[in-house]
Amino acid sequence: MKLRILGCSGGIGGDLRTTSMLLDHDILIDAGTGVGDLSIDELARIDHVFLTHSHLDHVTSIPFMVDSVGWMRDKPITVHAIEPTLEILRQHLFNWKLWPDFTQIPDAQKPFLRYEAVVLGKTVDVGGRKLTPLPANHVVPAIGYRLDSGRASLAFTGDTTTNDAFWTEVNKIDNLRYLFIETAFCNRERDLAIASKHLCPSMLAEELAKLKRKADVYITHLKPGEVEVTMQEILECAGAYSPRMLENNQVFEL
């Protein structure tokens, strides 16, 4: 299993791309603006999209991708998410008003898009690649994911704030190698982080103290314009965990 980072920023501008990761050639973990950097051929090979939640920075490329390559494929793209997230997509995105409903195009029997609900803690096996939804705590229904090749696992928080349930599950992972954890705001915006259910460096340190496994820690979802100050605060608050900033085009092998 190879995971390529297409986007890992909390915003856009210049070379910044919002959350999206490509697992091998056919699975997306979230579908932020980074998906737009893929070629048409690469887009056409994507069979599955696993979503953490419904916010625009994580789903924005799905409508354009389906519209661009749906006709080139012989089967629908499957969007996997918890049922509340799928319902938001049905009501507010693929609703014929904001975007056409591609679960009905070209017809309901052979659509370009289909939905499949995932359940917290229940593993989905896609050709031997195991993806398990993990608990998240955000302002909309949300999850993280464990990616498990058998040899190694990666735990991704998705967008979240303080969340004991996540650590309970992560600390059970015997083959944990990587941890991707969000930190959206710097410390002076701690109140905003709490209100919007994200993390800031001081909160990150409190969360990492709950980690009982060894893992390479990577920080994602940093806000544009605050990257340097936030990473400096992270090193000051949580330097014992040797956290590194996640970057576009990094590749992780599992």
Q: How far apart are the first and last CA of the chain?
A: 5
For residue 232, the model assigns a pLDDT of 98
What are the residues facing 155 on neighbouring strands?
146, 179
Number of DSSP helices (H) and strands (E) in the chain, helices first: 8, 14
The kind and range of the H/E element at 194 are helix 190-196
User: What is the residue extent of each domain of the chain?
Assistant: 2-253
Return the SS3 of 208: helix
Q: Whole-angstrom Cα distance, residue 200 to residue 230?
A: 8
What value does the mean pLDDT take over residues 119-140?
98
Q: Which has the closest alpha carbon to 117: 74, 64, 80?
A: 80
pLDDT-based confidence at 129, cuts 50/70/90?
very high
What value does the mean pLDDT take over residues 140-164?
98
Q: What CATH number is given for 2-253 in this structure?
A: 3.60.15.10
Q: Whole-angstrom Cα distance, residue 62 to residue 65?
A: 5
Cβ-Cβ contacts under 8 Å for 156 (sequence gap 6 or more): 21, 29, 52, 134, 144, 145, 146, 147, 180
User: For residue range 55-108, what is the model confidence (pLDDT) as tens digits?
Assistant: 999 999 999 999 999 999 999 999 999 999 999 999 999 999 999 999 999 999
> Is 0.95 surpassed by the pTM of this model?
yes
Q: What is the DSSP string of 75-126?
A: SPEEEEE-HHHHHHHHHHTBSSSSB--TTSSS-SSS-SEEEEE--TT--EEE
Cβ-Cβ contacts under 8 Å for 146 (sequence gap 6 or more): 130, 131, 132, 134, 153, 154, 155, 156, 169, 170, 173
User: For residue range 21-35, what is the model confidence (pLDDT) as tens digits?
Assistant: 999 999 999 999 999
